[in-house]
Amino acid sequence: MATNRHTIILMQTSQNRATRTFMDYGSISQAMDGICGLYERKLKELNPAIRNITYDISNLYNFIDGLADMSALVYDHSVQAYLPYDREWIKQRTFRHLKNLAH
């Protein structure tokens, strides 16, 4: 699988349609980093006094599930188009990404 697959993360943080936004990355791995970073910034916002915040995969999953919507569009060179992926795929990929970082 090509590592340099342009990835767009579409998300909506609440039921308010005005909270719709997107982030784009040069690879799936960078996109998963971005999602983890988003969660880590949220944790720092909620816990400003704590210097080293730790979390486990279930906390990250709860964050992803707590968003009104989240999906990914990943560029596939073989069909020269973006393929859509759902929230479950994002959760599987963030898990795999964090597992790879741990090793």
Which three-class secondary structure string do you get for 69-89? EEEEEEEECCCCEEEEECHHH
Distance CA 32, CA 28 (A): 6
Under 8 Å CB-to-CB from 14, ≥6 apart: which residues? 68
Distance CA 58, CA 65 (A): 10
Residue segments in the chain with a per-residue pLDDT below the cut of 50: 1
Q: Global pTM?
A: 0.90
Q: Sheet harboring 20-25: ordered strands across?
A: 20-25, 7-12, 69-76, 81-85
- The reported pLDDT for the residue numbered 51 is 87
- The reported pLDDT for the residue numbered 4 is 84
Domains of the chain and CATH, by start: 7-102 (3.30.2260.10)
2: tokens are: 């090509």
